[in-house]
């Protein structure tokens, strides 16, 4: 398995050989590169970095390595312990820290881990900054501190509670309105830190919580990516318990999916649509999502009198476009909600509170809410990469093949047809090509994806 170095951080599988996997040596090297870059970027002698991790099995080992490396560089570390990605993002500015590192491989299976790197605003580094860190790691040009100048470790495990308080203080979140609605909700925390944070938030909001896989052991009970094929247990439990809906998060709690009261997927693409519907109904403004997200957000935004824009895939790209367009809500179609009133990061706690407000004020069932939105269906498929596959040449060939259609090359190749679209891109987080399609029926989306995959295989000479 190749160690993946990208805009989404540095990630790899645990074990194996250095430079091919996320071994202890690689973890130290990249932590040292980040700390070295941060010293130059911050331009001051004494630095503080916030660190938190999800519950995956390798988390404690990787955290010990990263923390010790930063201490060795003379950097103080605020150790949040078990945390969530959005919690660390919020903690960085509250601690007046110079940066942050989240130790999580997001939705990847248990053998993966990663270092996600933040700036002093608690936002992801841009591609240019990431490139400098990769270069420093390659050169291994590090200057560690002498014994009297080592950093210190400050442990603070209160930040999930602080994060929940921040959500409750948002102007568009009214605890009493949600409490009065008397919701009953099933939560699948995939045995990671969402199993701590989401039930705590719901209980603060007066919601009856039924926990499923909420023990943060790191033993994921199913594939942790919140897709329909992985979520049979919660879909069944929502119906059995006659719950109002279900909530599913990924291991680091920046992706949010809902299960409707009838046990069907609300659709992770529609998490952002619903939250945007609520926010735009209260505050006029614009929205942004990435090129792989549903057209439904555009439709809802225009219905509320706003303007929709698409960004390249990757949270930092969406945030940059949101700032440029003064978007009041945005995110990614994988269930990532970015609400600047809170912070510029995907946040399932914020998304959960906004969705509860929408349901409390609108009434009716979650299935009825879903039926009220423009109906689009997506297919999300992938092709495994092999070392000899020239992805750039392949994407260029597909671009040329469809050059008479509306084509975007901001991020891979997106081809917009009148009734549907296809987006082909190399993943930032896995050694695959992603093939996303959207159409007016599931069959049409699947057929378009299969057709494009056949064409890609033909161009690449694959079986």
Question: Which whole-number Å values give the CA distances from 63 to 25, 26, 68, 251, 392, in the listed order?
Answer: 13, 13, 8, 16, 35
Question: Which whole-number Å values give the CA distances from 249 to 151, 213, 262, 356, 363, in the listed order?
Answer: 34, 11, 19, 16, 24
Q: Quick check: helix, strand or coil at residue 272? A: helix
Work out the number of other CB atoms within 10 angstroms of the CB of residue 312: 21
Q: Pick from 225, 257, 233, 283: which is nearest to 109 by CA?
A: 225
Candidates 83, 106, 348, 379; catalytic one: 106
Q: Quick check: helix, strand or coil at residue 22? A: coil
342 catalytically annotated: no
Q: Facing residues of 288 across strands?
A: 309, 330
Pairing of strands 432-439, 421-426: antiparallel
Cβ proximity of 120 and 98 under 8 Å? yes
| Residues 437, 174: Cα–Cα separation, whole Å | 37
Work out the number of other CB atoms within 10 angstroms of the CB of residue 20: 13
Q: Which helix (H) or strand (E) holds 50?
A: strand 48-53
Cβ proximity of 8 and 103 under 8 Å? no
Q: Pick from 64, 29, 28, 71: which is nearest to 49 by CA?
A: 71
Gap between the terminal Cα atoms of the chain: 22
Q: Quick check: helix, strand or coil at residue 160? A: helix
Catalytic positions, please?
Answer: 106
């Amino acid at each position: 398995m190749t160690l993946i170095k990208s805009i989404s951080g540095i990630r790899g599988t645990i074990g194996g050989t250095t430079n091919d996997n996320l071994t202890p040596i690689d973890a130290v090297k990249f932590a040292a590169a980040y700390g070295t870059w941060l010293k130059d970027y911050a331009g001051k002698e004494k630095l503080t970095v916030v660190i938190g991790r999800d519950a995956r099995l390798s988390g404690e080992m990787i955290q010990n390595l990263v923390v010790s490396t930063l201490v060795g560089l003379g950097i103080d570390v605020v150790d949040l312990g078990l945390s969530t990605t959005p919690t660390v993002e919020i903690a960085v500015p509250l601690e007046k820290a110079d940066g942050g590192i989240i130790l999580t491989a997001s939705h990847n299976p248990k053998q993966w881990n990663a270092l996600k790197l933040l700036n002093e605003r608690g936002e992801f580094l841009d591609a240019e900054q990431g490139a400098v860190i990769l270069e420093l790691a390659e050169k291994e040009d590090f200057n560690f501190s002498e014994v009297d100048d080592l950093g210190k470790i400050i442990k603070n495990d209160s930040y999930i509670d602080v994060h929940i308080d921040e959500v409750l203080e948002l102007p568009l979140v009214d605890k009493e309105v949600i409490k009065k609605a008397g919701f009953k909700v099933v939560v699948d925390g995939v045995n990671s830190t969402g199993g701590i944070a989401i039930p705590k938030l719901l209980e603060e909001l007066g919601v009856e919580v039924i926990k499923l896989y909420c023990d943060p052991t790191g033993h994921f009970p199913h594939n942790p990516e919140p897709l329909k094929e992985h979520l049979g247990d919660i879909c069944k439990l929502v119906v059995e318990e006659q719950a109002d809906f279900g909530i599913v998060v990924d291991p680091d709690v920046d992706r949010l999916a809902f299960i409707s009261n009838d046990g069907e997927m609300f659709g992770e693409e529609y998490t952002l649509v619903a939250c945007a519907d609520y926010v735009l109904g209260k505050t006029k403004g614009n929205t942004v999502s990435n090129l792989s997200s549903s057209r439904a957000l555009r439709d809802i935004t225009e219905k509320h009198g706003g303007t929709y824009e698409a960004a390249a895939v990757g949270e930092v790209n969406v945030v940059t476009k949101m700032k440029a367009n003064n978007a009041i809500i945005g995110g990614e179609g994988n269930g990532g909600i970015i609400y600047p009133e809170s912070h510029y990061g995907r946040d399932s706690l914020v998304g959960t509170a906004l969705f509860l407000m929408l349901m409390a004020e609108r009434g009716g069932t979650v299935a009825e809410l879903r039926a009220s939105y423009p109906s689009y269906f997506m297919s999300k498929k992938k092709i495994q990469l092999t070392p000899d596959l020239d992805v750039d040449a392949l994407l260029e060939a597909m671009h040329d093949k469809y050059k008479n259609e509306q084509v975007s090359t901001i991020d891979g190749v997106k081809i917009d047809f009148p009734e549907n679209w296809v987006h082909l891109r190399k993943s930032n987080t896995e050694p695959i090509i992603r093939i996303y399609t959207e159409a007016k029926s599931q069959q049409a989306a699947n057929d378009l994806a299969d057709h494009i995959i056949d064409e890609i295989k033909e161009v690449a000479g694959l079986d």
